[in-house]
Amino acid sequence: MPELPEIEVVKQSLDRKIKFQKIIKVLVTNRNLRFKVPKNLEFYLKNKIINKISRISKYLIFYLNNNDFLLIHLGMSGTIHLVSKNNYINSNASFYGSRNLPSKHNHIVFFLTKYKFIYNDPRRFGFVKIFKNKNDLIFFFRNIGPEPLNNNFKTSYISNYLKKKKKCIKSFLLDQKFVSGIGNIYANEILFYSKINPTKQGKKLNKDEIKKLKYYSKLVLNFAIKKGGSSIRDFKNIKGISGNYQKEFKVYQRQNLNCLDRSCNGKIKKKIISKRSTFFCNICQK
DNA sequence: AAGAGGCCCTGATAGC
DNA sequence: TGCTATCAGGGCCTCT
């Protein structure tokens, strides 16, 4: 579920709510996430203070006061929930937006000074990891490409990377080695704004298309962050702080509906590309 | 090296 | 009502 904008929104709200709190204890009720939850997670985290929370692509990183790092990835269905003494707080970390705490799949609970921080993940594609020093953390990210929001996501980088590449551009947007943080929703949206057909081979993009790809990658992600991310499963239940970007979707889940480009009479098509649903207008996306 | 495909999981929904 | 099939926001691994 969570792509860069959603993780960024989680990061920001965690920053406001749990920074400088101590981890009193950790309770793991299911260690079978995508990777086994580290044996000594409870021991490593006990009595540590969370000094800083940051984000790299779709990963959350907690800086601890003993110079260890805790990394969390939410996979496809992971959410984070904060519970205070008396109230359940939708930290906005919960992208399902449900105001009630899920009763199933709460795999890890971090007891902090003021909150219970709950890691919930039905499909268990997410994971947590401890790094004992910064070099290990850097090593972990060695194969991760630039983020669209960073300055190193340049047109020269993009054109160099894509030249000679036969795979279609849609699969490159999902390839975290090329660019990190974009997932299936935003890949579809970015290609629509850029007027590029998702099936187009990487090497066939011209200069202008590469410029647009860069520009709209930044624009779409920034706008989604501003809107609080996308909440697509049960956003009926959401109040206040949950995401609103799903209202802005131009193509995602809009198959058979009219193309929203004013000068286009096309209908949005749906097609599976690199195993993922792909939505596009085959008239205005060339 | 690049690209295709399998696989890890549960839950919601559609169709019979 | 209850079964089965399909699909879902991710990404690792293996094979060619």
List pLDDT tens digits, range A56-75: 999 999 999 999 999 999 99
**Nearest residue: Cα versus C1' of B12:** A233
**Structure token pair of residue A213:** 């790809």
pLDDT at A15 over 50: yes
Burial string for A63-77 (b: 16+ CB within 10 Å, else e) reads bbeeebbbbbbbbeb
Band the pLDDT of A5: cuts 50, 70, 90: very high
pLDDT of residue A84: 81
What is the arithmetic mean of pLDDT over A11-31?
Answer: 94
Residue A220: name the closest of A273, A181, A255 by CA.
A181
Band the pLDDT of A35: cuts 50, 70, 90: very high
Rounded distance in angstroms from the CA atom of residue A145 to the C1' atom of nucleotide C13: 19
Helices then strands (H, E): number in chain A?
Answer: 7, 11
List pLDDT tens digits, range A191-245: 999 999 999 999 999 999 999 999 999 999 999 999 988 876 543 333 335 678 9
**Nearest residue: Cα versus C1' of C9:** A1
List pLDDT tens digits, range A103-126: 899 999 999 999 999 999 999 999
CB-based contacts of A111: which residues, under 8 Å, 6+ apart? A23, A24, A25, A26, A27, A117
Q: Which residues surround strand B, with CB < 7 Å?
A: A 32, 34, 77, 104-105, 122-125, 165-167, 171, 202, 233, 274-275
pLDDT of residue A263: 93
pLDDT at A91 over 80: no
Nucleotides of C under 7 A from a protein CB: 7-12
pLDDT of residue A235: 37
**Structure token pair of residue A285:** 């996306």
Q: Please, are residues A167 and A249 in contact by the beta-carbon 8 Å criterion?
A: no
Active site residue A5: no
SS3 A185: helix
Q: Please, are residues A144 and A101 in contact by the beta-carbon 8 Å criterion?
A: no
SS3 A116: strand
